[in-house]
């Protein structure tokens, strides 16, 4: 990353498995870079304070708030958005479970919720409902009341572990 007397910096990162090189404003948030520069609009810029979780992304295998991370901080990182998880088929079962259980209504929180849930499910165990609730507690949904979301995540965790069908 270089800043040679400019308010812009050069970054190199991998987004959804593809290498990306860009020159970005030093203060641009990662979610804005993904949305505005790369056209990846799944992560939503909503509260811009890291409170709602609508901008949740995976950066180097960890769920992060894209509105709290600068694009420059992602230099050298591997970033996955809901689009990337969808394209590679990682979250197809989780997305189907959300649909089957009415775990989405307006859909605004859904991409961040899917990414956060995938972060939990990537651990490979079958979390308790309390653990699911705790892990998703930073992702706000104003429509569903969360029970259907927890049902969907639990069913996928159990199915992935071979404990029953999603």
Q: pTM above the 0.85 mark?
A: yes
Which residue in 87, 71, 148 sits closest to 113, CA to CA? Answer: 148
Dump pLDDT digits (tens) for 127-138: 999 999 999 999
Q: What architecture does CATH give domain 90-160?
A: Orthogonal Bundle (1.10)
Dump pLDDT digits (tens) for 51-64: 899 999 999 999 99
Which residue in 126, 146, 144 sits closest to 136, CA to CA? Answer: 146
Give the per-residue pLDDT at 98: 95
User: What residue ranges do the domains of the chain occupy?
Assistant: 8-85, 90-160
How far does CA 4 lie from the centroid of its chain?
A: 32
Just give the CATH number of 8-85: 3.10.20.30
Whole-number Å distance between alpha carbons of 41 and 119: 19
Alpha helices per DSSP H over the chain: 30-32, 82-87, 92-100, 110-121, 129-135, 147-160
- Name the DSSP class of 54: T
Give the per-residue pLDDT at 5: 56
Dump pLDDT digits (tens) for 99-128: 999 998 888 899 999 999 999 999 888 999
Dump pLDDT digits (tens) for 88-98: 898 999 999 99
Whole-number Å distance between alpha carbons of 136 and 28: 26
């Amino acid at each position: 990353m270089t800043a040679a007397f400019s308010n812009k910096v050069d970054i190199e990162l991998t987004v959804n498995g593809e290498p990306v090189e860009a020159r970005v404003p030093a203060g641009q948030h990662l979610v804005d870079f993904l949305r505005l520069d790369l056209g990846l609009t799944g992560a939503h810029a909503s509260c811009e304070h890291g409170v709602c979780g609508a901008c949740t992304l995976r950066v180097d295998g960890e769920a992060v708030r894209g509105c709290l991370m600068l694009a420059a901080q992602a230099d050298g990182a591997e970033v996955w958005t809901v689009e990337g998880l969808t394209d590679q088929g990682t979250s197809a079962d989780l997305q189907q479970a959300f649909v089957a259980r009415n775990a989405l209504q307006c859909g605004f929180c859904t991409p961040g919720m899917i990414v956060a849930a995938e972060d939990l499910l990537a651990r490979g165990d079958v979390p308790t409902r309390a653990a699911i609730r705790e892990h998703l507690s930073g992702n706000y949904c104003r429509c569903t009341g969360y029970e259907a979301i927890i049902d969907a995540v639990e069913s996928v965790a159990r199915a992935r572990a071979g404990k029953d069908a999603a």
